[in-house]
């Protein structure tokens, strides 16, 4: 619906906006909770400070949408973007994988392929989301967008940071996501 049409019904537009804000707030809390960012203590400022620290670490390092689970199509797109040759060699195999995989499953299946190039790319693949380009989010002059859904509303797996961000911020986040082997 076009904005002009929506403005003709301000009450419906306000209701829709409030629902969207509530859903976004709940999704953010869920994402930060998965990284152990929700702690309640008698000191409210300490709880808020902890939430902000975890939030900023997640924004710098990304988070897993569904623990270590990701869609096969995203991994296939990653392979195609990084090596069309490797993609062409393994296209049928990629299409034959389950719609959803964990990192542990992926690594087991890739090992069976006995291809060092595919193995290297699989080890580089990180199905992270909720990341942004470098710049401290607490500084108001740093502007960036965090895209978590594609045009069809599906989760978007895209890491925009750099390796320094991964190592620096995942040093603490790894405690919340210790391993994909038991998923």
- The tens digit of pLDDT for each residue in 61-98 reads 778 888 788 999 999 999 999 999 999 999 999 999 99
Q: In angstroms, rounded to a whole number, what is the distance separating the alpha carbons of residues 173 and 183?
A: 17
Q: What percent of the chain has pLDDT over 70?
A: 78
In a domain, 18, yes or no: yes
Its pTM surpasses 0.75: no
Q: Quick one: 8 and 61 in the same domain?
A: yes
Over residues 170-175, the mean pLDDT reads: 66
The secondary structure of residue 180, as a DSSP letter, is S
Residue 117 in this model has a pLDDT that exceeds 90: yes
**What percentage of residues in the chain have a pLDDT greater than 90?**
42
Whether the Cβ atoms of residue 62 and residue 128 lie closer than 8 Å to each other: yes
Parallel, antiparallel, or unpaired: how do β-strands 63-64 and 100-102 relate? unpaired
Sign of the four-CA dihedral 124, 132, 30, 40: positive
Question: In the chain, how many domains are there?
Answer: 2
**pLDDT band per the 50, 70, 90 thresholds, residue 136:** low
> 37 and 61, same structural domain?
yes
Domain of residue 150, residue span: 3-67+128-173
Is residue 168 within 8 A of residue 61, CB to CB? The reply is: yes
CA distances from 134 to 19, 57, 65, 125, 143 (A): 31, 11, 20, 19, 10
152 and 96, same structural domain? no
Give the pLDDT score at 36: 85
Within a domain: residue 79? yes
pLDDT higher than 80, residue 46: yes
Tell me if 102 sits within 8 A of 69, measured CB to CB: yes
Name the pLDDT band for 22 (thresholds 50, 70, 90). Answer: very high
Task: Assign 17 a pLDDT band (cuts: 50, 70, 90).
Answer: very high
Residue 181 within a domain: no
The answer as to whether 113 is a domain residue is yes
Lowest mean pLDDT among 33-37, 53-57, 74-78, 142-146: 142-146
Mean model confidence pLDDT for the chain: 84
């Amino acid at each position: 619906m076009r904005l002009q049409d929506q403005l003709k019904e301000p009450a419906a537009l306000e209701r829709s906006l409030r629902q969207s804000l509530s859903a976004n707030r709940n999704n953010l809390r869920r994402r930060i909770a998965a990284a152990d960012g929700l702690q309640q203590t008698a000191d409210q400022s300490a709880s808020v400070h902890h939430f902000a620290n975890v939030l900023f670490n997640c924004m710098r390092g990304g988070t897993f949408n569904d623990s270590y689970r990701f869609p096969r199509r995203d991994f296939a797109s990653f392979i195609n973007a990084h090596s069309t040759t490797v993609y062409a060699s393994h296209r049928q195999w990629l299409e034959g994988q389950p719609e959803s995989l964990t990192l542990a499953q992926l690594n087991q299946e890739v090992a069976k392929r006995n291809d060092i190039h595919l193995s290297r790319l699989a080890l580089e693949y990180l199905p992270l989301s909720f990341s942004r380009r470098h710049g401290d989010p607490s500084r108001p002059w740093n502007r960036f967008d965090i895209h978590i859904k594609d045009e069809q509303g599906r989760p978007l797996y895209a890491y925009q940071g750099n390796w320094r961000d991964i190592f620096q911020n995942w040093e603490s986040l790894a405690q919340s996501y210790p391993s994909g082997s038991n998923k």
